[in-house]
Amino acid sequence: MTISTTITLANGVEMPRIGYGVFRMKEHEVAFNGVTEALKAGYRAIDTAAIYDNEEAVGDAIKASGIDRSELFITTKVWNSDQGFDNTLRAFETSLKKLQLDYIDLYLTHWPKPTLADTYKAIERLYEEKLIRVPGVSNHHQHHLEEVFAVANVKPMVNQIECHPSLSQDALRAFCHEHQIAVTAWAPLGTGIVFTHPVIRNLAEKYSKTPAQIVLRWHLEIGNIAIPKSVTPARIAENLHVYDFALAADEVAAISALNTFHRTSADPDNFDF
């Protein structure tokens, strides 16, 4: 299957299929260097969050790159302790300032707390005011999305969820696609737990690709956006170069069959942060 490097969201905005994730890169130098390297390698999407504590470094790297703002797709997220209508608007202002931008491409509720509806209404307000180009959510199960739908004038256009071969999220992805919600996979590499599986190893050998590239190509084939993280220049580049080969349908199915419902982090129905 030929796959374009961007996906068209429900409102027509184009979002890069592979973005650069910056979780656990708190030190200014680490985040600055990582984003600089990613932009040099050709990434145009960066995924950060208020809680990652690196929005300033991301903003500095964007500025230093000299790349035109219109070519970039920047995602950030409102943290749990800032949820609610007014708090979310305030948190957004802070993120915008730290990133040194005048709009954000995609703004997400980071985790679904009981205040998720008010939080989403604030995100919707930001969308109406054209301060964000795309409204979205993260870690929302189907029932959380249904709570959002009950109050939304504009449905979220992206749901960022944990997804990798050990957690293929078939039911939630199908529900999202039915509602024109694009799925972004976080922890797309599943922190490497499937890299040594024979299915992945054999495909890597067949296509002369690395296990990470096989897994990322699988994400593209099943319709996902993926935001792998690395601080190693060779891996940053490698993770973007997944457009010059394709997996056959039975190969995609074999990777999907590795699903064990294994989460690397909390279930959105049960977290305490």
Interface with ligand NAD (CB under 6 A): 21-23, 47, 110, 138-139, 160, 186-189, 191-192, 210, 212, 227-230, 235, 238-239
Nearer to ligand NAD, 200 or 254 (CB): 200
Contact in structure between 57 and 65 (CB atoms under 8 Å): no
Q: CA 143, CA 137: separation in Å to the nearest integer?
A: 13
Min CB(250)–ligand NAD separation in Å: 24
> Which among 128, 132, 101, 178 has a CA at the least distance from the CA of 109?
132
Q: CA 188, CA 190: separation in Å to the nearest integer?
A: 5
Encoded tokens for 26: 């708190």
Encoded tokens for 52: 């990652």
Min CB(126)–ligand NAD separation in Å: 18
Nearer to ligand NAD, 23 or 207 (CB): 23
Nearer to ligand NAD, 131 or 137 (CB): 137
Nearer to ligand NAD, 168 or 239 (CB): 239
Q: Where are the beta strands (DSSP E) in the chain?
A: 6-8, 14-16, 20-21, 45-47, 73-78, 104-109, 132-138, 158-162, 182-186, 225-226
Instruction: Fill in the DSSP letter of residue 208.
Output: T
Exposed, middle or buried, 197 (CB in 10 Å: 0-12/13-18/19+)? middle
> Which among 195, 191, 203 has a CA at the least distance from the CA of 252?
203
Min CB(175)–ligand NAD separation in Å: 18
Min CB(38)–ligand NAD separation in Å: 11
52 catalytic? Reply is yes
Nearer to ligand NAD, 83 or 138 (CB): 138
Contact in structure between 73 and 105 (CB atoms under 8 Å): yes
Task: Exactly one of 20, 52, 107, 127 is catalytic; name it.
Answer: 52
Residue nearest to ligand NAD (CB): 21
**Bridge partner list, 167:** 164
Contact in structure between 27 and 14 (CB atoms under 8 Å): no
Min CB(269)–ligand NAD separation in Å: 14
Min CB(147)–ligand NAD separation in Å: 18
Nearer to ligand NAD, 110 or 133 (CB): 110
**Positions marked active-site:** 52
